Structure 1
Amino acid sequence: MKPSIITCSLLIIFLLFTSTISANTFKAYITPSFSASFLKFIDDSGTFLTSPNGTFKAAIFNPGAQQTSFYLCIIHVASSTITWSANRNRAVSNSGLMNLTLKGITISDKNGNNNPVWSTPPLRSQVDRLVLTDMGNLILLDPSNVSLWESFRYPTDTIVIGQRLSVGSSLSSSSSDSDLSPGNYNLTITSSDAILQWFGQTYWKLSMDTKAYKNSLSTVEYMAVNTTGFYLFGSDGTVPVYLVTLPVSNFRVATLDNYGHFIIKSFSFGTGWKQEFVGPDDGCGTPLACGRVGLCTDYDDPSSSSSSSSSSSPVCSCPQNFRVGSGNSGGCVPSNGSYSLPFSCNNNQSNSSLVVPSFLSLGNGLDYFHNIYSDPVMDSVDLSSCQDQCSKNCSCLGVFYRNSSGSCYVIENELGSILSSNNGANQDMFGFIKVSLGSTTTNDGTRDGETSQDGSGQFPVAAAVLLPVTGSTLLVAFLFFWWRRSIKSSKRQDMNKFGKTNNNNNPHSSGDLDAFYIPGLPRRFDYEELEKATDDFKTLIGSGGFGTVYKGVLSDNAVVAVKKIVNIGVQGKKDFCTEIAVIGNIHHVNLVKLKGFCVQGRHRFLVYEYMNRGSLDRTLFGGGPPLEWQERYDVALGTARGLAYLHAGCEHKIIHCDIKPENILLHDHFQAKISDFGLSKLLSPEQSGLFTTMRGTRGYLAPEWLTNSAITEKTDVYSFGMVLLELISGRKNCYFKSRSHSVDEDSNSGGRGGGGGGHNSSSSSMPGLIYFPLLALEKHEEGSYMDLADPRLEGRVTNEEVEKLVRIALCCVHEEPALRPNMAAVVGMLEGGTALPQPRIESLNFLRFYGRRFTEASMIAEENDENGGTPQGNSSSVTSGGSQVALVSYISSQSISGPR
């Protein structure tokens, strides 16, 4: 009897085990609670779900047939092509689990159920089922058949027909065919183009591709491929801005491959894949065509005439002073073993090796791929200034210098291949790579200065080079100093002799800046040059705390904004120029570019790029057409990205201290750019104490300004939150409401406190002065987010979209700076990569106090209007014409500053 029981038990265990490795694949959808692993569905290669027509499948898959890294993937069945993957950043083993619950999808490895490596973001309702459509879209649906989450909204390296890549979104390459972790190449969609980048260096633009046809001047909204071609769509998705017409195909993908090529290809049974478009299409177009510092020469290949493939056959070599590196580097290293290539300070490699930075010449007639798509960092400078600009920047790894124009281009973050044309172009372009000399590890694995023999009795190579160089440098410096001193003495004697002083307004005078040298300065303009460009400062386009702004046109027809600095007091030219050098070297797509400056006599001017659409306040609060919700969202995201760069992305951290709509400027297609960043650095210590008074923008200042607490980057976060609230409502955070119109007429009245004068309703329900941040807090507590949206949008925004921005804004305006997110986290929230936190109500209760104060001030103002005078003995006075409230830290700005 017992053997029979044992036999039955073993049989049951065997059947259970076999069921775990041969589970049936589901078709179209699955429901919670469900789990899948590669081992559980091993008979179907990890496939647990297929689309209704079998075109796509979802699987726990190991690309490249390796057995260590598994991913949740969507796969095109006929071609075995992965079109989407979930856990790119963290692969799991063959026993890793995909779990579908009422809360969404999680992926965990082995026993790590409590610590998933990937999960869907928090959802607004419970999951009813997971669906895989015939287009390859993985969708979570609720019981009402409403989409909660879609894989199409989170593209990886590929999009398919029916999928959109919206402005601000990007594709990122995989590291390899078997490693799906994000690589170093990105395709990003902007409001005007599609661009390819590598470590922030652009190497292709659709607008510059000869196969792309520009069809419209509209703003780009998204990229898509369909059965007839490849498009950048604008105007609500109805008008192509750029298009590439392709043969009709029922299945087509656009993908960014592991080598940085953007490829569009179609698939058909029998013939397989056909490549239809590739960008860039020349052999030297990708950043690492010939490896690091490899010299890529592009020769035309007559046998390759198809536009669907690369049209050239590159030849790789090494530039002068370099040789092929050993090992698998695939690039070139200095021929002199005493030198080593640098690593950027943003790289994991230590940059402390740059003890003695020098430059190795690449020769002339060469170029670098990024130079084609970027502006020089400086113009009209000499080579030594260009190299000095690179020497002091640890992110800079090399320079290219155009001798004819004095243009200086820099290579930052990573070194790519060098370009050499077989037609002899760019003969006036010279290239230099920054190298280090000292005891550091070289690319060959040896150490600088070491030899294969015992060098204990030898004179160090570095010393043999440095001592003569140092001695010569000191001698030259002494002679130069003596010569300059004699020249200045002669000039002083001549001026004393004739009773004259130096004319600081003379455009040819060098007395302003020649007495000292500051590396990294942007272009220096003469006063007469700016006077002519602005037609004697005729067109005033703005004014603010630091001065007035005029529109100008330079001699090369470039339109600029010329800011006359008037409120920095008496400051030395050298101090001024030192700070301008810092500001001028900060470059970001969401920061207004400083093109140059002028220092002559008492004149101080800054020359900025011109923003066609002016400042955000004019568009947001003006009488013109309202900004659409997507435009407001793009402005918020652009501003957040610019601030995140100022706080953490540039070499010198900058706290703006004056974020407001007037300092957010709009370029074509409503691209947001922050102005006036770094200008607080121009203040003397005495003036910085008057900063808030001078700028006049108290409506955006954080509570720490009143308590004399430390001012950190979280101060900018608070100001950004206040601006975000204004973007939501389309009005100033402090505005007057007449008795004939009430915000609560369209919603339930009765707040949660904050009313003044003993009223139970909220301060926002009363006529008079409305403090919108308090209203936002109250509506957040009620969940009535649509009551906060700009009524001019007339339903063109959803409750979920408004809720997202309200929650982010409230988190930004927490009273305690430590509770506010940093700007990098805010960018992640806006982009969707970071889960939205819940605002901390206890840290927002201070808004109720300010709301009561505004209500009281409003009542006093009304009493004042009725009595025809100002009540005595009360400091909380308001005049409807000036919106002046005693709570001085929170009055909205009425001034306009920053370049327009």
Structure 2
Amino acid sequence: MAPIFSILHALPFLVLLPIIAMSREILPLKSSLSVDDYQSDLLRSRDGTFSCGFRAVYDNAFAFSIWYTNTASETVVWTANRGRPVHARGSAVTLHKGGALVLTDYDGTVVWQSDNNSSDVQQARLLDTGNLVMTSSTGMIVWQSFDSPTDTLLPTQHIVATTKLVSANGFHDPGHYMFHFTDSSVLSLIYDDADVHDIYWPDPDDGLYQSKRNRYNSTRMGVLHGNGDFVSSDFADQQPFSASDRGSGIKRRLTLDPDGNLRLYSLDSSNGDWSVSWVAISQPCNIHGLCGPNGICHYSPAPTCSCPPGFEMNNPGNWTQGCKAIVDTSCSVAQVQSVRFVHLPDTDFWGSDQRHVDKISLHACRNICESDCNCRGFQYVIREGTCFPKSFLFNGRAYPSHRSARNMYLKIAGSTNISGMLVPQSNVLDPRKHSRSCHQMDAKTMVPFPDVHRTSQGETRWSYFYGFAAAIFTLEALFIATAWFFVSRWELGSLEIQAVEQGYMMMAISNFRRYNYKELAKATKKFRYELGRGGSGIVYRGALDDGRAVAVKMLENVRQCEEEFQAELRIIGNINHMNLVRIWGFCSENSHRMLVTEYIENGSLANILFDGNILLDWRRRFNIAVGVAKGLAYLHHECLEWVIHCDVKPENILLDKDLEPKIADFGLAKLLSRGGSNQKVSRVRGTIGYIAPEWISSLQITAKVDVYSYGVVLLELVSGKRVLDLAESSGEEVHVLLRKLVKLLASTLLNGDEPSWIEEFVDCRLSGQFNHMQVRTMIKLAVACLDDESSKRPTMESILQLLLLADESCSSNVLR
């Protein structure tokens, strides 16, 4: 019986044996972690604190992450591919022989890779600190995850001038909150999206001196110590922010949460739960963007979001989208819509002041806002006669008591019925349960505001309620000293502008953002260097303050209102593909509408293929055909928002320093009005010679219009000649010539008499140096793309598959 009992005792160990065998500390060169075995194929730190591998973010979607192993929810502290999950089958992360750690999707697409420059890499290792490192043969670290944090800092991890924390939203994508050093070397919390870029911690209503910060210090470095101290180079007298349970032996993390607050968490090792041991902002209503556009944050007594009278929620359950006017008062209806103003006492929408006017009456201030259709409301300080018209209502906040000097007057349509609508007010003693609270938000959108709990050592920590009470006491003291308040407000105006401008310059390279006209005029040296012009506008070369070379397109024929223009730009700004020109941002100021994109060194395919001194060999031409197909396939089939380019042509295909293609001007069909001043632009989107027949016939427009234009580009790549030039030399209309050419090519392909005429059709400058099968494939695809019936044309996805198949089949062949 003894042997039987021994086997029974050993069974649990035998079950765990495969997991133990596959979990390891080191990933050797040329080995992988597979998503198919995500539960067991892991890296684990030597002490077992951290694990690294694939984590499910939602159904059939995974991210390559690092997490605390023994916590209740296995808290993630770093993610490589946040915002771009991989499939649940076939994805892997591999340490390649060349020294890069590469994450690939099920189809082999590279989703993420380490940015180290060393080829002398021997292994990847997960350290006990939670740092994933790659080491050389000498043991030197050549890459580490600590240098590219996501939303969390771990003990011993530094935040420096080149790093930042970015919050996550409910869909595991980067959110709008950032934590990094500004140009003034001040470590700050910042709200950032296409419309707003605001610093909200340190409190902008206080000076840096009051916030105990040093401006323009010599270094930019912060670090979380294991004992719970967080120190930074800008902290006055190097006094740290300390955890309430300060001491060694506790596992910690500093996280920028989805609600925009920075919290230090301590782990209770007995149950795996986290508790908050320090918080940056004790009053949640001070966090910018919490209640979205037009929303107001107040205390009743818990932090609560409400819409002001005349407004309603954009998306019930999601306060980040804020409120919208029940009746529109925008400039498009301003001339036919009467307006009135609702008084919101003790309320302000911080920032977005159009200007401030001193020593005028309330009536005069009202007239300023009423006469400007872009004014959404105004703040008026009665004792000083100061007027602050506002172009955008954001960061709405109701202050306690009626002693506040802040009075907001909100513009609404005269026809709006606001009877029964309450004015949001703050009252920490209010026992009523409010109808709209921040806890009413979708759990995927915003986490609840966590309180600070009692430690296991019995130390008492602050809860938000007591924080609110202390804040009210402080505010009342400030209101007594009203003279000091107004002096501070006067000084704040210039500081706000300076802070915002500096914040713009420190924006991360990867973020789509809004530029002002002054910035772009400076970048382009007052629009001096013209790169080209077309039906959509003129393009200028420029350089931003951070050294990036950019192209600035000054758009023409934009007829959309401001809201529609920015909504379309948010869609376009989220598009990112290696064969699409990256859009960095935009300008929408007065009558100016501009796009800011990356600068592509070699200009357009048209300049090189038809007019340039560079001769594109066959390999380059085929690669360009494949790259353009990849970009269009992404727009048509992979974007969350379906995008049709509507103007595919060699002029809109740019070539970078390696002659890799990038498609420009995608999405402009969304932004531009139909028609234009350029004579080659038809009454709809497109350019003569490349427009599909359905444009002219006023039939339904689908992605197949881009397929038609791509077919023309294929013919031009093979022949080296413009179809317009061929039409002019033959004296025929271009669409007639294309029909004849397609018919001839189709007939020749069918007859099989190919070698002789292919030699004649291919660009003579190649001197016969081309791949016969690839040429034949491109011509067959061009014929299919140029079918008059859109339903018979192939999709860009199938075109790409055929090109890749031809590339694989011919990779071993010698050019003839």
Query: For this structure pair, what is the TM-score category when the shorter chain's length is used for normalisation?
Result: 0.3 to 0.5
| TM-score normalized with structure 2 length | 0.46
